[in-house]
Structure 1
Amino acid sequence: MSAVTLSLSIPMQSARQADISKRVMEADPILKENEISVDYKTDNTMLTVDFAASSDRILRTVVNSTIESLKSVIECFDEFDE
């Protein structure tokens, strides 16, 4: 796959929130593994998401979906986390 890549670094409020976010986001399966690669990493309070896709359009779609899912995770932290 000739990949188009992007890396997002998202600061979280704590290392715990970064780790929970990583585990929650990793649970979603990648449907077209031959076209998309998503790798989640944490470093203290930073959540890093590395994307690789076979085209700009696919990359845009998977990044948008990931941001929407992460928004839901953060909203849960706001509502339920101490």
Structure 2
Amino acid sequence: MGWAIFFFVYLVISIAMAKRYYLRRHGVPGSTGGPGTGTAGYIGLAWPITIFLARVRNPSPCYHMVHIAARNRAREILAMRRQEG
């Protein structure tokens, strides 16, 4: 029973770490099968080690065309909201 609880907690933390890394790296919420989801999943599974790596805590932004366009769109929306007050 103790192993089941440990495994469940490990998986929950793995999913949270993968989502957090994907959002920081790509700047957009994750999508199933999207670019970079596999890498984020592997980083999430190795979270006991990767939480100490600076490249995982503060990753550089990706250069995938879809993600660049989405980040630019989000910046434009924020700028419009600031102008409106």
- Comparing both structures, which one devotes a greater share of its residues to strand? 1
Which protein, 1 or 2, shows the higher relative CO under an 8 Å CA cutoff with sep ≥ 6?
A: 1
TM, length-normalised to structure 1 = 0.33
Query: Greater CA radius of gyration, 1 or 2?
Result: 2
TM, length-normalised to structure 2 = 0.33
- Comparing both structures, which one devotes a greater share of its residues to helix? 2
